[in-house]
Structure 1
């Protein structure tokens, strides 16, 4: 039976609220997901993912989240359901002074059979700190790490960093064994997570961008996973993923398009809120959008509510800022941008707008944005590619405008993190190529701010500074819709999108 869903949005809002309620077992604190493993060896899980590896399995970039979602990698810490730091490879920590933290390690084993030692952990963090481009979790942060005794690691930052435990939960700061870097560290900038991570599942084979095979890591510190392994397929087409879960070809299919969700039986849909925002990034360094008045013209041309209604079918909210409603404190603290330029007349200015098709709604979003910009007087060429063939060109500024979907709390769990990585002069994921002194000052001030409430206030002031440049136009705040077989239990749909499969996931 096929069921039409007239109220997806209302159910998503309810689930968003539940997703942010504290979990008694630390729902998203590790790949184990808080569910106990150790049961008998169960069937392998068949998973359809939207994104293939895009960076040769580099643990420092976009691929890092892929490993985290499949339960391959872990950091010293993880995030709980409220976004606070929770134990992972470190069982505890304390702040020794403004710039120094000491982390006490639990007993654990790498997938290559070597022990997780203070020396190995310190070396892994040192490699990450030296990587170029820097991992997004370290945007604007300089750190050093050294072993301390039999079970401790001391991490020191160049400037005080009150959210370091949250930062170390970032997928791009996963801890890998010495073997990840080759003999004598011969590949420090290109370590491999294959067989060198600590999570409950180990990558054993990668078939290019088509599929990957993972087996259970039997010495995982969190207990045996129920599933004996994972057969992952990378299926960029959202309709194909929906068809795969409908026909039973896979057990789990992530990122089901809203339009396809309405055609699936309700029993195989799972939904949750997410801190992901779809935005229009404007190239501030070259082309027409180097002019602030032309960026203002693009902003005023966008009708976000109409876009949400037409594309997302109610499973999203109109763009309000970089941080959306799933960041529950953001709206009450939002600051109105000041000093925006007056919109110019586009006068037929020619621009190239790019997006990717791994997230099936984005090409349709781009088509609507293209129509709205054309109506305002721009001439718009649309370019759509698979993400792995698009990212390098986008970061190099080869497009005038770029539409992407970004989880604002993915990298660090700290709202300041995404602002530093995406909108500062030295940001590693600065698609808008923004370099603005006011923005950098606001982000720097937020980085230095202690106290949860005070840091949130500073983050919203920095958000206002970014929005004031019109380098980014928020379009929609999205929801997660996943297809899950009725035979599967324990799928992890966390709002930060770092987890999907854990020790308790089984069929």
Structure 2
């Protein structure tokens, strides 16, 4: 049966301009055309994979106003919006056609065509490790139907394919970007700012794209610095070394909020921090051991102390006000007696467990969070040693399941702007980010069935059932639902801290 559905919405463009340069200087910039307006931003993460789009490096290119996708997701409205594509149609249950925007050029002057888009998408689809949003499991073919139409075929009927085309990992670069051994983003994006130089591990510097399809961007330059330490990012925006800082730690808020020259923004986001186990590895292959760890931790105290009241005790993977959260879910309550009873039931004796807890530096709260967990678990006879470092150094062990305990902050709408991406990646048997190594074929089938559901309410009810199971079985100890916190100089106008971490400065962000 032929199923045709066309989605049209008003023109929308959210793009970002951050640029960080270790050797650049910046002018606070006035509104006069004679002054060069340069925005310097302290970014939270450092590119680790030479800007390969199948990795998290795509977020950096998107944040700095270089990389754009066919569609974008408006988190506030809860719907997709056009970007490089203006229309998307489900021409059959297993095919979607995307109509490209007229008049778009890559920054190297070449035209945005269906062949170029198909080539860019094929590059990530056939990568050794495709991005979680765009793998051969969910996409079987990408082709140019004509110069302005790209057709994407899925192995099975999919109502959610367009959401995958809003993932930054499906960003579009010019064909020339793929000619070498590594991705070359220099002058190969479509966004408002054009990369001019990159200092690996330190910074990226961008110039205004005067031929940008959505009008002349407000800034002349964007400079960015890759700053892992949260306290350093806070210091840089306070001293004026940068004008925007992302990922501000709670410990830095009092000083920043007292500075009359700065604005601090906070908002709850679809992000939950959790304590992860390898559930196939003793002692965490026993659900009672996992539940004992969960019951020993004081979530309310963590939200109040570690996050300075800027987080909510977690009720599961999803916050209570999200449409896919279980109704009337409550956070786990600390109960040392219940935890000790569960350990005894699992055959674990006091003092028997000596565990290592991994906590990565890019999340500045994790150092204090790990210390609180260490103290809580000591009260039920579990010894914890804390190991810190950069996330990139820990990821191989996490993916291999070679760890005891690990802290992870996970935004469940970044893979795709629907929980199916997160649930598939993190909690299905063959999930690409299944750090828990959890496997329940019945749960896999339930999650997969959401892909064909055209009604959001039906999908949300299913996601709530999955969330309840993960919480009940303590597959992960969900700790807190988080806020995003950023700071910017009051001279910066139009900055919005994107809850999905894709954008930092749009074409309209300026300094005045």
The TM-score with structure 2 as length reference comes to: 0.86
Equivalence for 1:13? none
Q: Which residues of 2 match residues 335-414 of structure 1 at below 5 A?
A: 343-345=342-344, 346-347=348-349, 348-414=352-418
Q: Distance in 2 between matches of 1:197 and 1:454?
A: 38
Q: Tell me how far 1:225 sits from its aligned partner.
A: 1.4
The 8 Å contact of residues 124 and 170 in structure 2, kept in 1 or not, is answered as yes
Q: State which of 200, 205, 212 in structure 2 corresponds to 1:208.
A: 200
CA distances 1:120-139 after superposition (whole Å, capped 9, x unpaired)? 11111122222232212136
- SS in structure 2 of the partner of residue 344 of structure 1: helix
Q: State which of 63, 70, 75 in structure 1 corresponds to 2:69.
A: 75
Asked if 1:227 is matched to 2:219, the reply is yes
CA gap of 1:63–1:192, structure 2 versus 1, over 3 A, is same
Q: Distance in 2 between matches of 1:324 and 1:126?
A: 35
Q: Tell me how far 1:457 sits from its aligned partner.
A: 0.9
Q: State which of 443, 446, 449 in structure 2 corresponds to 1:439.
A: 443
Q: Which range moved further: 192-201 or 309-318? A: 192-201
CA gap of 1:134–1:336, structure 2 versus 1, over 3 A, is farther
Aligned residues: 471
Q: Tell me how far 1:425 sits from its aligned partner.
A: 1.8
- SS in structure 1 of the partner of residue 110 of structure 2: coil
Q: Distance in 2 between matches of 1:103 and 1:333?
A: 40
CA distances 1:82-133 after superposition (whole Å, capped 9, x unpaired)? 2311101101111111111111101311122221110111111122222232
- SS in structure 1 of the partner of residue 371 of structure 2: helix
CA distances 1:442-465 after superposition (whole Å, capped 9, x unpaired)? 211223322111111111122223
Equivalence for 2:191? 199
Equivalence for 1:116? 112
The 8 Å contact of residues 314 and 331 in structure 2, kept in 1 or not, is answered as no
Q: Distance in 2 between matches of 1:181 and 1:343?
A: 54
Q: State which of 289, 302, 306 in structure 1 corresponds to 2:297.
A: 302
The 8 Å contact of residues 103 and 154 in structure 1, kept in 2 or not, is answered as yes
The 8 Å contact of residues 442 and 465 in structure 1, kept in 2 or not, is answered as no
CA gap of 1:58–1:343, structure 2 versus 1, over 3 A, is farther
Q: Distance in 2 between matches of 1:133 and 1:343?
A: 39
Asked if 1:174 is matched to 2:176, the reply is no
RMSD: 2.5
Asked if 1:259 is matched to 2:254, the reply is no
CA distances 1:193-236 after superposition (whole Å, capped 9, x unpaired)? 33322211222222221222122222221122111121111112
CA gap of 1:318–1:164, structure 2 versus 1, over 3 A, is same
CA distances 1:307-352 after superposition (whole Å, capped 9, x unpaired)? 1111011111001111124635535486999xxx993334321221
Q: Distance in 2 between matches of 1:30 and 1:112?
A: 21
CA gap of 1:26–1:261, structure 2 versus 1, over 3 A, is farther
Q: Which range moved further: 391-400 or 415-424? A: 391-400
Q: Tell me how far 1:67 sits from its aligned partner.
A: 1.6
Q: Which residues of 2 match residues 261-280 of structure 1 at below 5 A?
A: 261-264=253-256, 265=259, 267-280=262-275
Q: Which range moved further: 198-207 or 408-417? A: 198-207
Q: Tell me how far 1:192 sits from its aligned partner.
A: 3.6
Q: Tell me how far 1:39 sits from its aligned partner.
A: 9.9
Q: State which of 275, 278, 282 in structure 2 corresponds to 1:283.
A: 278
The 8 Å contact of residues 71 and 200 in structure 1, kept in 2 or not, is answered as yes
The TM-score with structure 1 as length reference comes to: 0.87
Q: State which of 77, 87, 94 in structure 1 corresponds to 2:89.
A: 94
Larger Rg: 2
Q: Distance in 2 between matches of 1:455 and 1:207?
A: 44
The 8 Å contact of residues 41 and 243 in structure 2, kept in 1 or not, is answered as yes
Equivalence for 1:21? none
Q: State which of 44, 55, 60 in structure 1 corresponds to 2:49.
A: 55
Equivalence for 2:24? none
Q: Distance in 2 between matches of 1:396 and 1:438?
A: 24
- SS in structure 1 of the partner of residue 379 of structure 2: helix
The 8 Å contact of residues 300 and 343 in structure 1, kept in 2 or not, is answered as no
Gapped regions of structure 1 (runs ≥ 5): 1-23
Q: Distance in 1 between matches of 2:401 and 2:365?
A: 23
CA distances 1:478-507 after superposition (whole Å, capped 9, x unpaired)? 111111001001112222221111101111
Equivalence for 1:138? 134
Equivalence for 2:3? none
Asked if 1:243 is matched to 2:268, the reply is no
Asked if 1:65 is matched to 2:46, the reply is no
The 8 Å contact of residues 334 and 460 in structure 1, kept in 2 or not, is answered as no
